[in-house]
Structure 1
Amino acid sequence: MANVASSDPTVRRARIFYGWFVVAAAFAVTLVGFGSAYTFSSFVASLEKDFGASRGSVSLVFSLAGFLYFGVGVISGPLADRWGARRIAIAGMLLAALGLILAGRARTLMEVYAAYGLGIGLGLGCAFVPILGAVQRWFVKRRGFASGLAVSGIGVGTLVMPPLATTLIAGFGWREAYLVLGVLVAIVGVGAAALIDDDPRHRGLGPDGSAPETAPSSRSVEGLSVKEAARTTWFVGLYAACLAGSLGAFVPFVHLVPYAVDHKIEPTMAVLLLGAIGVGSTIGRFFLGGIADRMGRDVFLAAMYFGMAGSLAIWAVAGSFLVLIVFALAFGLFYGGWVAILPAVVADHFGARRVSGIIGVLYTSVAIGTLVGPSAAGFMFDASHNYFVPIAASAIANAVAAALIVMTARSASPIRVGVP
């Protein structure tokens, strides 16, 4: 009787579409994974003090991790296409947890580079791109909305994890704080990753909960190979835009709290600015993805870059806590919209067949920007003891990214795959 019931299409449609469980799992993985990574600004002062390090050298810890968790996608994406996202994501969460725990035991800054940089970098790199690819296969019509919900965990993590880290540091010390974060990632991250499923066909379903298509040309799995995608004008344009935009997009996650403290704002208040980025980012990921589905996801992507450029310009001249809060909320909104929509744009243009691999190659541009941007901003500050130049450069970089998307949309031949 159970077999009959499970094969009945009416019964199957009555259940909650499993794609939403995949989205929820991706949400939890990004919440604890990226939430822990974005607590780094809370640890900057402690690392500077304990290791006698400059702000630039401490900032390089985050930049190294960021370079890896975006850059490793070029390997983890194709592996997920071949072996399945669940296995790769579970391994990634275990690596991230181990990196946090070992960072808390580090005796030199080089050991922090190795533990945090490699652990968080490789761990999130193994998890992020595969789970994004998995979400794209479960949706077509609501792809932007689903992607937004999946990565909104980053926004919520940015909201709740830095204050948690600051509280742990104040109460127990930075080493114990890293231990708690590592245990949290091991429990929540690994448990959520175990719920990931790569393809709706595994459960007798089609994208968006429709009836499964058995033909090889099913829109859920058609698309270009990685090599074919990389040769297109659209891929080149996206790559250049991501590289330019990411040079500035990750600077606030390292330098906003130190900037605020330098402007005589108490550390307990300064860390709230990261929470404000999280609030804006969560709103952007939850609500803007659906808007992008209606207005056009390419146009929306350019608008997000313009928005980040404008908000970074506000930061460049901000001197009070109120203005910094305005910046943090606005930046978070546009940053969240950018992260939410980028995987959907990739799937739109190149299809879902090799989407994890394509996203992985594309995100090497973000890896380079993350490696260079925050650390360069730190060394610029060390040289001038002023943040205006690196923040202004970050704003200009995102304006360039927006212009590149507009130019690509106007000049490139359309190659949209799997868009209703």
Structure 2
Amino acid sequence: MASTSSLRFPGEPEDASAPWSIAAAAFAANFVTFGILFSFGVFLTPIADDLDTTTGPVAALFSTAVCTYYAGGAIGGRIGDRYGARLLVGVAAVAMSAGLLLTAWSNALWQTYAAFGVLVGLATGFCYPSMIGLIGRSFSERRRPAAMGFLLAGVGAGTLVMPLASHALISRLGWRQTYAVLAAVALLAIGWAATRGDRVSLPTAGLVRVTRLVRSRRFLLFFAAVVAIGPGFYAPVAFYNDYAVDRGVAPALAAALIGISGATSVAARLACGALGHRADPMWLCRAAFAAMTAALAIWWISDGNPAMLIASAVAHGVGWAVWVTATPSVLAGWYGVANLGGVIGIHYTGLGVGALAGPAVCGFIIDASGFGPAIGLVTVTSLAALGLLMLPMREAAVTGSP
């Protein structure tokens, strides 16, 4: 693993706090990128009403952004492993800000697909896996789980704060002006994260070929499980708010549900990071899939009961947190820290496939038949994902050069 000093300009004095300043910048970047992306549920109805359309076509906009995020992550993660995160995260700052501004100025649904669906998605994809790879290179094996937990807590914190803030801003300014405000926030926060990226080019020795990954049984099993969990993972993000309002829940609580999931995930990510070096990360992933499946089952039978919806959001947040915190440790153990950004970017394209089939399909099912059949469908697919993840994943480590 590269030492802390390898992340400095030649001749720059060593700074023992440098790794944690990098983690703080990564926290901020995740807070903003995922906070904006996962706030989409509170924008869904205002956008649909403004553009004179229905839930299905606008929900598919979120699916497009998520799929673009994972496609960008597959490319960006490998670029970050080869050349460092600085330039890539700088591009993400500009793309996120431009995408939000163009979305705010759009007058037709196709324009929002090009702006939010492509640019916001790519910005998230360029930022997330490259920052994970950067953290992996910046911390020792023992301290890495805690640093990963802190970095990923930014996702949960953003998911807690940004939907509530966006809901308040939309009420005062409208959805267009709210996206313009968020564009400025994104440029500042992600731009700062870019300044903390790798300051020298990184060696490419030991990078795993993609063809080696796709021939790995355990990689393919894990990938398939992620594809299957995707619809159930993203359905609450897209539809908790509208479902709760449809069932007569107070709008403030409806908007807060995904925030509750985010708040729960912050605590769970930090706890998982602190304990991560003591637990088998694959068994943590299995427990996480079980929690997310339980969250969907509770949502399905809740019939709008506020206590049950809160319980569903809490279970979703715990499962989400444990899963994303444990996954980098699984993949680093299998393929090494030098490959972490690229491998995790490729791995999460499976979640992008699931996300495309999730909110988009669910949106049209909701338009045709209501929420019940849509939630039931993603509960079943999540149960299938848990079954895949329970299969044995023993395999010799994959190594190789680019």
TM norm structure 1? 0.87
Matched, 1:239 2:223: yes
Name structure 2 gaps, 5 residues minimum: 1-7
Query: Partner of 2:123 in structure 1?
Result: 123
Over 3 Å counting, the alpha-carbon distance change for 1:305 and 1:221 in structure 2 is: farther
Aligned-pair distance for 1:154? 0.8
Aligned-pair distance for 1:398? 2.3
Per-residue CA distance 1:149-171 (angstroms, 9 max, x = gap): 11111100011001111111110
Match of 1:338 among 297, 302, 323: 323
Query: Partner of 1:329 in structure 2?
Result: 314
Match of 1:296 among 280, 299, 302: 280
Alignment: residue pair count: 386
Over 3 Å counting, the alpha-carbon distance change for 1:303 and 1:263 in structure 2 is: same
SS at match of 1:89: helix
Q: Does the aligned pair in 2 maintain the 1:279–1:332 contact within 8 Å?
A: yes
Asked which structure has the greater CA Rg, the reply is 1
Q: Does the aligned pair in 2 maintain the 1:25–1:196 contact within 8 Å?
A: no
Over 3 Å counting, the alpha-carbon distance change for 1:189 and 1:80 in structure 2 is: same
Residues 22-171 of structure 1 mapped to structure 2, 5 A cutoff: 22-139=22-139, 140-171=141-172
* Structure 1: 4+ residue segments shifted above 6 A: none
Query: Partner of 1:174 in structure 2?
Result: 175
Q: Within 2, Cα distance between the matches of 1:400 and 1:278?
A: 25
Per-residue CA distance 1:194-231 (angstroms, 9 max, x = gap): 212378x98xxxxxxxxxxxxx9xxx985644333332
Match of 2:368 among 374, 383, 391: 383
Aligned-pair distance for 1:25? 1.4
Counterpart of 1:353, as a letter, is A
Q: Within 2, Cα distance between the matches of 1:302 and 1:243?
A: 15
SS at match of 2:148: helix
Matched, 1:228 2:205: no
Over 3 Å counting, the alpha-carbon distance change for 1:97 and 1:106 in structure 2 is: same
Q: Within 1, Cα distance between the matches of 2:274 and 2:384?
A: 25
Aligned-pair distance for 1:17? 4.3
Q: Within 2, Cα distance between the matches of 1:53 and 1:344?
A: 43
Match of 1:353 among 310, 315, 338: 338
**Identity of matched residues, %:** 31
SS at match of 1:107: coil
Q: Within 2, Cα distance between the matches of 1:380 and 1:335?
A: 25
Q: Does the aligned pair in 2 maintain the 1:137–1:221 contact within 8 Å?
A: no
Q: Within 2, Cα distance between the matches of 1:46 and 1:66?
A: 20
Q: Within 2, Cα distance between the matches of 1:61 and 1:184?
A: 22
Aligned-pair distance for 1:257? 0.1
TM norm structure 2? 0.91
Query: Partner of 1:196 in structure 2?
Result: 197
Per-residue CA distance 1:61-85 (angstroms, 9 max, x = gap): 1100000111211211222122211
Q: Does the aligned pair in 2 maintain the 1:65–1:117 contact within 8 Å?
A: yes
Q: Does the aligned pair in 2 maintain the 1:302–1:403 contact within 8 Å?
A: no
Q: Within 2, Cα distance between the matches of 1:416 and 1:291?
A: 27
SS at match of 2:96: helix
Aligned-pair distance for 1:241? 1.1
Counterpart of 2:164, as a letter, is P
Matched, 1:275 2:276: no
Higher mean alpha-carbon deviation, 399-408 vs 306-315, is at 399-408
Query: Partner of 1:262 in structure 2?
Result: 246
Aligned-pair distance for 1:266? 2.6
Counterpart of 2:113, as a letter, is Y
Q: Within 2, Cα distance between the matches of 1:383 and 1:368?
A: 23
Aligned-pair distance for 1:134? 1.3
Q: Within 1, Cα distance between the matches of 2:71 and 2:210?
A: 15
